[in-house]
Structure 1
Amino acid sequence: MISYTSLMRCSIRLISCLAIAFASLQAGHAARPNIVLILADDMGWSDLGCYGSEIPTPSIDSLARQGMQATRCYTASRCSPSRASIMTGCEPHKVDVGLLDDDSGRPGYRGRLKPDIPTLPELLKKAGYRTYLSGKWHLGKVRGTYPWDRGFDRYRGLLGGAADYYRPMPDRPFGEDGRLLKPEDLPDDFYMTEDITKTALAYIDDAARAKAPFFLYVAYTAPHTPLQAPRGEIEKMLPLYEGKSPGSIAAKRLENQKRLGIVPPSAKLGMHNKFNPAGYEKTSAERKEYIAECMATYAAQISIMDRGVGKILESLDRHHLSGNTIVMFLSDNGATAEMPQNN
């Protein structure tokens, strides 16, 4: 039996190699494991409860308790290169995605996966897997480079980079199962994170009916900017941040990490000038309120994503798939340096 496994922020090139190895080892066996890979977008490594955060993430924390929690692993520094390594197991420049999905005309920076290098879903399909992607692609935005061109049986989500959580189009392309959608194709109550979860649940239902091993890639855009969440979700998080400086929050996280054994007792808080308590105390009341609002919105985005992860795990349980499913959670890179006032 294969239990849930959480590879938090593990080496992204290793992820695809592990998935292929698990599938290949049992390619001729009836109990080939299902693989669910859940990816957060621009989430700091300390933003989860199991890494000392104040943000409530019970579902993701449960993965850490049941499986393996990484503490010394690495990823790329931008969205597309991380995804390129996950999909191919290669260093991103080797597959022409050295930066993002724009074509610079230079080798290593063409902004789309090389057609002659197989992707993870293409390889898994050869092993008899059904392949699904719900969420952000960011590995090619021209014909012939979409997810349905690179091995995914089913797809719904954002083809480019981050977008408005409520109205991603027409600024960013959104696709589903071989076609580009129009703004009117999305429901009036659309919210990106919840749509990604809803689609992932539908794909699990489809896989359960097919009674075949499956690979499900759930690529959330949360908590990438812009900072957007339902007002009620933000207000739930506000008490965590009202009247508290970013420095005090960071110091509390470090204290929790030492208690959890994630960092050594001698570890010190970095970015001292960034988290200058004196500077915060001199800040106006309006600015402090703005900072708390931003942090609460960011936390709400992660909390909504965590709730979606919980629904995915519950669906696996309901379909009696949990015992033979590998579940991995990681972030494509660390917390963003993009400022909320620029969105």
Structure 2
Amino acid sequence: MQTLTRTSLAVAFLLLLGISAHADERPNIVVIMVDDLGFSDLGCFGGEINTPNIDSLASGGLRFTSFYNCARCCPTRAAMLTGLYPHQVGLIRNGNSLTRNGVTIAEALGSAGYQTAMAGKWHLSRTQALPDHQAQLDWLNHQSQPDRTFSPVDTYPINRGFQRHFGPIWGVVDYFDPFSLVEGETPVEDVPDDFYMTDAITQKSVDYIQEMSQSDAPFFLYVAHTAPHWPLHAKPEDIAKYEKTYRDGWHKLRDKRYARQVEMGLIDPKTSPKPELQGQGDDWEALDEATREHMSQLMSVHAGMVDCVDQGVGRIINALKETGRLENTLILVMSDNGASPERYLNPGFDRPNETREGKPIQYEGLFNPGSETTWGYIGSYWASAGNTPYRYWKAQSFEGGAHTPMIAHWPSGLKTEPGSKTDQPGHVIDVLPTCLELAGAEYPQTFKKNEITPVEGLSLAPILAGQQREGHPALFFEHEGGKAMIADGWKLVQPKQNGQWELYHLAEDRTETNNLAEAEPKRLAQMKRKWQAWFNRVKP
């Protein structure tokens, strides 16, 4: 029998879905990446935040309940765009440039006749501070412009396969006056008085949809939000919706979200027991009344930021409807990692100390959060509650850091029951091979004279077609000393800073509450060897 090529397999899949494989009828693809979103922040994953538009994608689509990321911004974005583990393409740590031994989805689909566009955060170009601290602050504050670019221009999205790009090159922004904002290669020097980063990303996404829909060629759009990543900046009207929502504290929030998840059938309390909250510093009951109010307002701003993202998703859905593209557009919504516990209380590197006009920015104290002159964070307790039912948070390879909500919506192509859930495991490295299969595009061995590393991801197309996929024999994780491996229903995990290896039977303990490392020494040793062999293979 003749061996099928990847292209013919893709054609067969499209025909299975009843869609012509002719180029102008291949699906459009929109990937929406949210930044530091808690696993349970969205309404369709148990949250109280008002997210009706994303929830509508879930109710008409498919929710993945075992989907994984790389636990941190840069590594996840690199893996999602290339189908490779981040270590293989230069992102073993944050702040590096995406190397050229991998192709981006945009490069691969552009070669296959797709239009490509990106609105939002890149964070895959080398970021390097000026040697003088005050000069760096002046640059961040928009008060001086050194004779240099934000990062090497040849690493910008516009030079990695995206025909259009608007957004910040670095990873952290003042939402009202962002640093490192570019259009293509050109810095955006000034923004309007009513500028807000999330709305600007949404508007560009809508503009790109309208522009690209004038052509018969399909398109790939990457919507890379900065929200709800710190600093906690939101519009007053969005904050006001949640002014009183979080006054009962993080334990009550965890309890309510967990109960909703059980009621929704997202988790089974027998296999996902509710763990204790993790946190650093004083717990809720130890705080005085003023501090509790401040902490509740921080979470209100976070909620307002997520709410605004959802409003933007509604506008993107409407743009797809108005242009007649919604039916044959695959929309994927996910987060780059779990909610963040981070709190940096001093300006520097990517954190300004003044606004453009010279107003000081407050990092500490009981300030009223949300405006440009404050730089707030939700902190560890809220992050732990945000990742209900899982433990820990961003940058850790525990489920709270590396387990992402993921939604797939495709009216004319998805063959699962609307509103259904799948527990089949997936990973962000699976996004590129999925896009290529649906587009009938080849994964190249070379690209622009560069040797390309063989892809690590596996296509999600069988799951979208309502089938059982032969998934990964194992998934691996490593970031700044946080390590993990998932295989055969078990998870090996080591906390950051060289903690002790832990072992969990995920099939019976999805929330990592019963460490079986001492009870299963043979399994522990075998998985450690496999993890080390993987790391030796992928590390630069």
Q: Deviations over 1:185-233 (max 9, x none)?
A: x212111000000000000010111232000000000000000111221
Cα deviation for residue 28 of structure 1 reads 4.0
The 2-side partners of 1:297 and 1:303 are apart by 10
The 1-side partners of 2:81 and 2:279 are apart by 36
The aligned length equals 309
Q: Does 1:225 align with 2:214?
A: no
Structure 1 window deviating more from structure 2 (173-182 vs 305-314): it is 173-182
Cα deviation for residue 279 of structure 1 reads 4.4
- Alignment CA distance shift 1:116-1:283 (3 Å): closer
**Is 1:246–1:275's contact at 8 Å kept on the other side of the alignment?**
no
Q: Deviations over 1:157-188 (max 9, x none)?
A: 0111021101113xxx1110231222x2x212
- Alignment CA distance shift 1:24-1:125 (3 Å): farther
Match of 2:117 in 1: 132
Matched AA of 1:79? C
Q: Of the two structures, which has the highest relative contact order with CA contacts closer than 8 Å and spacing of 6 or more?
A: 1
Match of 1:44 in 2: 38
Q: How do 1:159-178 residues align onto structure 2 when only pairs under 5 Å count?
A: 159-169=169-179, 173-178=180-185
Residue number among 97, 114, 122 corresponding to 1:112 in the alignment:
97
Cα deviation for residue 269 of structure 1 reads 2.7
Q: CA RMSD in A?
A: 2.3
Greater per-residue helix proportion: 1
Gaps of 5+ in 1: 1-16, 102-110
Cα deviation for residue 240 of structure 1 reads 1.4
The 1-side partners of 2:60 and 2:283 are apart by 41
The 2-side partners of 1:302 and 1:21 are apart by 35
Match of 1:256 in 2: 260
Matched AA of 2:177? R
Gaps of 5+ in 2: 1-5, 15-19, 126-150, 346-362, 364-374, 376-540
Residue number among 184, 204, 212 corresponding to 2:217 in the alignment:
212
Matched AA of 1:118? V
The 2-side partners of 1:21 and 1:334 are apart by 33
Q: Deviations over 1:233-284 (max 9, x none)?
A: 1111112123x111001110000011111111233332346499x9423421
Residue number among 150, 162, 165 corresponding to 1:152 in the alignment:
162
Residue number among 79, 84, 102 corresponding to 1:85 in the alignment:
79
Give aligned-pair identity as a percent.
Answer: 39
Q: Give the SS at the match of 2:260.
A: helix
The 2-side partners of 1:234 and 1:207 are apart by 34
**Is 1:23–1:33's contact at 8 Å kept on the other side of the alignment?**
no
- Alignment CA distance shift 1:194-1:268 (3 Å): same
Matched AA of 1:117? G
**Is 1:294–1:340's contact at 8 Å kept on the other side of the alignment?**
no
**Is 1:22–1:33's contact at 8 Å kept on the other side of the alignment?**
no
- Alignment CA distance shift 1:113-1:22 (3 Å): farther
Matched AA of 1:332? D
TM-score using structure 2 length = 0.55
Larger Rg: 2
**Is 2:106–2:160's contact at 8 Å kept on the other side of the alignment?**
yes
Superposition misfits of 4+ residues, deviation over 6 angstroms: none
Residue number among 270, 273, 286 corresponding to 2:275 in the alignment:
270
